[in-house]
Structure 1
Amino acid sequence: MPESRVLRRAADRFHTVASGTETFHSFSYGRHYDPDNVGFGPVIAINEERIAPGAGYDEHHHADAEIVTWVLDGVLGHEDSTGHCGEVRPGVAQRLSAGAGVTHAERNGSDVEPLRFVQMMLRSTNWDEPEYAQAAVPDGPGLHETVPVHADARLLVARPGPDASVELEVEHGALLHVTRGPVSIDDTTLGAGDEMHVTGPDRLRLTGRDGEVFVWLFR
């Protein structure tokens, strides 16, 4: 594997367990601190959340961050101080730009089914009023646009198909997070929760029958 690529396995993530919630952290977060792992590029958090029926996170505050959420299984109940209140289901990319400050609450929208979602945070270029946005992402293989962010990055969803690979051109670095695996990046196989950090220009070829990868391309 080229020196410009760093592989981080899901099993090496920090792990937090609380009442009704379980979180796997890719980077330093909360009580987990590693000075050598506080982010990559503009990305400062990737948290895989597993929420029991009826559980979740009560209202809490964020500022100066882009918060992007992707539901893997179940339904997420969301409410924030911009006035948005509703449910987020698989296939929808949600973005909350915290700006000068926002509060939100996130709970499992079901009383019987578990919830699993990935939440990512980036250093924001929005210091004004908070903003909310969401976008439906097409099903099926390919390289799909998601939701714009106020940050020096662009988020795509890559799904290589059984008969088609996904080719990626990287100019300024990239972070790839596997949400569903296995996926091969050239000759390296990644499973769910694994990540590849790419520094500098590169060209990557993604293959896999049913895989899904978040691709942050840095500007």
Structure 2
Amino acid sequence: MIRADDRYATRRDGITTRHSFSYGDHYDPDNVAFGPLRAVNEERLEPGAGYDSHRHSDVEIVTWVLDGALAHEDSTGTRGVVRPGEVQHVSARAGVEHTERNASATEPLRFLQMMLAPSDGELADPDPGPPAYRQWDLQGARGYLLDVLRLRDGVTLHAALLDAGDVVALPEDGRLHLQVTRGRVVVEGRTLDVGDVLRATGDGPVRVTADTSSEILAWHFAAEQPPGNDQGAS
């Protein structure tokens, strides 16, 4: 388990980032990956703050806005705004440049940006093709586990919006990376508050009970996924 305040923090130019993995100048050799997951960055941007144009390649980028509005523009010609209840997925492939800014001049922005390695087949492809972009509204009732994104076979992002007392069961096999994005939940007797992370490996259901009105995000990596640099349940 990783508590919210134990995540490494970087601060600059109106941006505060909490890192769940090694990223940028922060390096922990025991925490560089969990299956294909390479980064889960909680970004807090002050009004008008943001990231100037920068490049990514050979990575899948999934963005989930918690509060505020994120303005996005990239080298594919795509531009727009991502708001709570929407999901953005960018497949960088051979390379993409993008800018990300707080779209508001008065309100703060908070979002998660998650990065995953492509499949071995995609990495081995000498011509991975141009980057691809998609964005969609997340529709679903409260109290249920939703399939937000199936990145490829065995790699799925789940989410749940829960009222106090609601219970959901996460997939039983493989690896799970669970982050509480709102509220407070209880997982197998352990209380997780907003920003806390639980990683689990092995068989058996992982039951999540909402202690308050809550939201969770959970990456599930099926058992056949390569182990990466995970350290088992934590």
TM-score, normalisation: structure 2: 0.87
SS in 2 for 1:170: coil
Q: Deviations over 1:23-60 (max 9, x none)?
A: 00011111111101111111100000000111100110
Q: Is the 8 A contact 1:24 1:48 kept in 2?
A: yes
The amino acid of 1:105's aligned partner reads: T
Question: Where does residue 135 of structure 1 map in the other structure?
Answer: 136
SS in 2 for 1:11: helix
Q: Is the 8 A contact 2:76 2:96 kept in 1?
A: yes
Instruction: Check 1:93–1:151 CA distance in 2 against 1; reply closer, same or farther (3 A cut).
Output: farther
Which structure 1 residue ranges, 5 or more long, are not aligned?
1-6
Instruction: Check 1:111–1:28 CA distance in 2 against 1; reply closer, same or farther (3 A cut).
Output: same
Instruction: Check 1:60–1:134 CA distance in 2 against 1; reply closer, same or farther (3 A cut).
Output: same
1:187 Cα deviation from its structure 2 partner: 1.0
Question: Where does residue 202 of structure 1 map in the other structure?
Answer: 204
Question: Where does residue 44 of structure 2 map in the other structure?
Answer: 50
SS in 2 for 1:146: strand
Identity level (%)? 48
Say if 2:213 is the partner of 1:213. no
1:33 corresponds to which of 23, 27, 30: 27
The amino acid of 1:122's aligned partner reads: L
The aligned length equals 213
In structure 1, C-alpha distance between the alignment counterparts of 2:83 and 2:73, rounded to whole Å: 14
Q: Is the 8 A contact 2:164 2:214 kept in 1?
A: no
Question: Where does residue 226 of structure 2 map in the other structure?
Answer: none
Q: Is the 8 A contact 1:94 1:147 kept in 2?
A: no
Question: Where does residue 171 of structure 1 map in the other structure?
Answer: 173
SS in 2 for 1:54: coil
Which structure 2 residue ranges, 5 or more long, are not aligned?
123-127, 223-234
In structure 1, C-alpha distance between the alignment counterparts of 2:171 and 2:85, rounded to whole Å: 24
What aligned pairs does 1:17-96 form with structure 2 within 5 A after superposition? 17-96=11-90
